[in-house]
């Protein structure tokens, strides 16, 4: 696919546009296997199976070494896998703070609530984030970090981010 034009750059597309397609290019050994692997990879990525999708894209690269589309798709899946892991870690942080009761004699922990708010924001659980930021704000009234975090989350909610 041409990045600039947004059009598919395949022998069939070039032929439909009136361009000539050479016999070797029209045959492209392994092209159907490549297409099958790419389609399977995209299908898996749409349902969130990023690891499986990446395996399909890597197999497509083995069939068609150096292919730009398969390379980019594989990189995108690596990025999605990393983001999923970060979101899972943020979810665990929020759950841990939610379940950890501070000892009765312990001073309120501002940083704990603010960090939990940031973790909740990362996974787009904005209601939980606001609850933690507001709790932090009760511990340290007028704290600029808590106030800014609350403004940010309210902006995310209003803009649908």
pLDDT, tens only, 57-87: 999 999 999 999 999 999 999 888 887 777 6
Same domain as 105, residue 69: no
Higher pLDDT, 109 or 105: 109
How does residue 7 score in pLDDT terms, banded at 50, 70 and 90?
very low
Examine residue 74 and state whether it is found in any structural domain, yes or no.
Answer: yes
How far is Cα 122 from Cα 9, in angstroms, rounded to an integer? 37
Closest CA to 115 of 152, 141, 151, 145: 145
Same domain as 160, residue 105: yes
Using the predicted structure, report yes or no on whether residue 103 has a pLDDT greater than 60.
no
How does residue 22 score in pLDDT terms, banded at 50, 70 and 90?
very low
Cβ atoms of 153 and 126 within 8 Å: the answer is yes
Examine residue 122 and state whether it is found in any structural domain, yes or no.
Answer: yes
Give pLDDT, residue 79. 85
This prediction's pTM: 0.45
Using the predicted structure, report yes or no on whether residue 123 has a pLDDT greater than 90.
no
Same domain as 113, residue 78: no
Using the predicted structure, report yes or no on whether residue 97 has a pLDDT greater than 50.
yes
Q: Which residues of 98-129 are buried (b: 16+ CB within 10 A; e: fewer)?
A: eeeeeeeeeeebbebbbbbbbbbbbbebbebb
Examine residue 146 and state whether it is found in any structural domain, yes or no.
Answer: yes
The residue with tokens 């759950």 is 95
Q: If you average pLDDT over every residue of the chain, what do you get?
A: 77
How far is Cα 119 from Cα 86, in angstroms, rounded to an integer? 9
- Distances, alpha carbon 77 to alpha carbons 104, 110, 127, 139, 152, in Å: 46, 36, 29, 41, 28
Examine residue 158 and state whether it is found in any structural domain, yes or no.
Answer: yes
How many residues does the structure list for the chain?
161
Range of the domain at 64: 1-15+25-83
């Amino acid at each position: 696919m041409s990045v600039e034009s947004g059009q598919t750059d395949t022998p069939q597309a070039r032929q439909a546009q009136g361009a000539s397609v050479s016999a070797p290019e029209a045959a492209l050994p392994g092209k159907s296997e490549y297409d099958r692997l790419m389609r399977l990879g995209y299908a898996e990525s749409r349902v969130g199976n990023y690891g499986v999708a990446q395996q399909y894209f890597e197999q497509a690269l083995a069939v068609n070494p150096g292919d730009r589309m398969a390379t980019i798709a594989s990189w995108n899946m690596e990025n999605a896998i990393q983001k999923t892991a970060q979101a899972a870690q943020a979810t665990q942080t929020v759950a841990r703070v939610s379940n950890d009761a501070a000892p009765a004699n312990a001073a309120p922990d501002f940083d704990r609530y603010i960090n939990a708010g940031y973790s909740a924001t990362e996974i787009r659980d904005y209601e939980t984030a606001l609850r933690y930021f507001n709790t932090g704000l009760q511990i340290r009234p007028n704290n600029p970090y808590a106030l800014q975090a609350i403004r940010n989350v309210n902006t995310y909610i209003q803009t649908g981010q």
